[in-house]
Structure 1
């Protein structure tokens, strides 16, 4: 059974993810799941500085860093976790990016191909079905007490609330404040494929 957590979008960005961060700290996924393995290569730092990231999104990531409260977790390491899916799509090309990433210890990010498959179909009665599998591999975190977690052990569902009502539900992992897979209640579904 996948744990169900809540994010209240009516709260200030610095408060929204506290219960999610608390859950991951309690199971021992933090700091390891988002800790920097070493210095981030200057080329990647430069790339990250050129990215236009919404201020509210940055506030949420800064709050996650503050809530984890561990020197091995930085804003840059949390940003990289949130960019994991996008970066995995560049693992082989272009050559310049591959060289830049090679200067970092990203073996855990690209140890095996990453990606997901989705299906969108309409049934004869007009009902639309959207399915998605999670083809992730390569993630491993060792907890402080020696347990080893992979993606299935750290997967959660997060229901986002607006005005006290459920707005949408998303599949989540430690440190993630964005959305890769989601379904809006009484609305649409979303799937990112890089």
Structure 2
């Protein structure tokens, strides 16, 4: 039987009704900003002038014990969720899969494996995480001076080990100490900054100063990431771009907002996705809704034609459709942006909206605020005290 994420969420709601109480009704947060500095995410440098085998060494040496704990749990949980047949096929092919990854990702994975004392196949499994299990909320806004500001909550861990007693997702809790702020440097200069997880070589959240900011949100589809992985492994269909590898290439080599938009719109993808892209000029903000194939669905939703015009909110559902009742982060986010008002558009407003339940929930690992024009990039670990929605 095929695993259906949306059906799982509905069943989860029915079985855990006590998690969804009347006290969870959204009240716009107004005082969460500024966040506590104790929750700032630690900074590490990735030196792109080093060999791919060596560039992750300091980070992995620091974090390898927690990485061991996480990958052990992920392997066990994925086996129970994907089904024995699919999971066995995947695990048998992970070594050969790793060897087919484009340069420098295979080499980086081998280096991470060496410094963490984990097999390359396991690090490869860890790096396909986004293609399957990430829920998120991203917000773009244009402030009164025409500056584009960008914020996101990275939510992950759904389906992966709900602890009913403590009301937490096991994988989400294990990811907190692995969350890092990265500066990618070349010839001593910062090329871009990212929020990521130790051992993960792709890009989910990043800014390139004077160019663009970028975040990824998962998009549900019958033809999703599992299908792309199987095609890559079984049919050797390597013309697809791994979503988080593509975004890293864009961050390293993209010239400007328009260049990044074109690449993200036209590349063939391993998984469907929402690309949330912010620029440096008024009106340079868009959400790119993508199916896997570049000839399939492409929907551009910009600050010029969005429902809010001065802001855009993207969760994990197409903006032209109603979100499901059991996972509606969009409605409270939109409401709180409108309540805040265009004259107050700022990183402060975005952080407060991202701190409003259920936009903030038990899956939320971190919040990042960024601006391509100013180069602002700050990230904080997030925790959602009870009462709080599971997602």
TM over 0.5: yes
Alignment of 1:2-151 (within 5 A): 2-25=41-64, 28-35=65-72, 37=75, 41-43=88-90, 45-46=92-93, 49=96, 53-69=101-117, 73-88=118-133, 114-137=134-157, 138=160, 140=170, 149-151=173-175
Instruction: Single out whichever of 48-57 and 121-130 deviates more from structure 2.
Output: 48-57
Q: Distance in 1 between matches of 2:42 and 2:101?
A: 29
Matching residue of 2:19: none
Which residues of structure 2 form unaligned runs of 5+?
Answer: 1-39, 80-86, 161-168, 219-391
- Residues 121 and 129, structure 1, Cα contact 8 Å, conserved in 2: yes
Q: CA RMSD in A?
A: 2.6
Q: CA deviation at 1:29?
A: 0.7
Give 3-state SS (helix, strand or coil) of 1:10's partner.
Answer: coil
Give 3-state SS (helix, strand or coil) of 1:177's partner.
Answer: coil
CA pair 37-136 structure 1, distance change in 2 beyond 3 A: closer
Give 3-state SS (helix, strand or coil) of 1:32's partner.
Answer: helix
Q: CA deviation at 1:80?
A: 1.4
Give 3-state SS (helix, strand or coil) of 1:16's partner.
Answer: coil
Alignment of 1:153-164 (within 5 A): 153-164=177-188
Ranges of 4+ aligned residues in structure 1 off by more than 6 Å: none
- Residues 18 and 67, structure 1, Cα contact 8 Å, conserved in 2: yes
CA pair 14-191 structure 1, distance change in 2 beyond 3 A: same
Q: Distance in 2 between matches of 1:47 and 1:33?
A: 18
Matching residue of 2:344: none
**Structure with higher helix content:** 2
Q: CA deviation at 1:163?
A: 1.0
Q: Distance in 1 between matches of 2:182 and 2:128?
A: 19
Give 3-state SS (helix, strand or coil) of 1:189's partner.
Answer: strand
- Residues 136 and 153, structure 2, Cα contact 8 Å, conserved in 1: yes
Give 3-state SS (helix, strand or coil) of 1:134's partner.
Answer: strand
Q: CA deviation at 1:23?
A: 1.6
Q: Distance in 1 between matches of 2:187 and 2:141?
A: 32
Q: Distance in 2 between matches of 1:118 and 1:178?
A: 18
How many residue pairs are counted as aligned between the two chains? 158
Which residues of structure 1 form unaligned runs of 5+?
Answer: 89-113, 142-147
Matching residue of 2:83: none
Matching residue of 2:202: 178
- Residues 34 and 174, structure 1, Cα contact 8 Å, conserved in 2: no
Q: CA deviation at 1:43?
A: 4.3
Q: CA deviation at 1:50?
A: 6.2
